Amino acid sequence: MKKRIIIRFKRKTIDKPIVYRLARDYDLIFNILRANVFPRADSMMVLEIEGETENFNKGIDYLKGLNLDIEPIEQDINRDESKCVHCGVCTSVCAPEAIYINRENMKVEIDYEKCVACELCVKVCPVKAMSVSFE
């Protein structure tokens, strides 16, 4: 399985070699999509993790055991459906094509498993429908 997650660190856990342990102990492949790391404040990282389901679940349990906050990426990317007019502007800046137009109904949809947390969709949306709360 392959999933994108957001990990939030407290100051005291910033020095733990967590991605190394995910690879070595749980045989997981990881890709760091984004990292905001601050030595004197809480930090965050967006990771794509791939591996056998059992290993993936064990790896997540390991992270939770360190008292890290783990969330699926879709939890922090929001679209206000009452504001979105499905204009498609955000699709033009989304390089991994996580936002796309569904040609059957011409609605703009989001595939969270492709999102790399760049926040460009937030910046270009003319009606401020997109919001990201990675920090």
CB atoms under 10 Å from CB of 81, counted, come to 8
Interface map 94-123 toward ligand SF4 (x if CB under 6 A): x-x-xx--------x------xxxxxxx--
Q: Is 44 in the site for ligand SF4 (CB under 6 A)?
A: no
Nearer to ligand SF4, 14 or 89 (CB): 89
CA distance 45 to 17: 13
Angle, helices 53-65/18-26, rounded to nearest 10 degrees: 140
Q: How far is the CB of 93 from ligand SF4 (least distance, A)?
A: 6
Count of residues that interact with ligand SF4, criterion CB under 6 A = 26
Phi/psi at 33 (nearest 5 deg)?
A: -90, -25
**Residue of 73, 75, 79, 87 whose CA lies nearest to 122:** 79
Residue 57-96 contact track with ligand SF4, rule CB under 6 A, x = bound: ----------------------x----xxxxxxx--xx-x
CB closer to ligand SF4, 37 vs 85: 85
CA–CA separation, 130 and 117 (whole Å)? 12
CA gap 114, 96 in Å, rounded: 6
Residues that bind ligand SF4 (CB under 6 A): 79, 84-90, 93-94, 96, 98-99, 108, 115-121, 125, 127, 129-130, 132
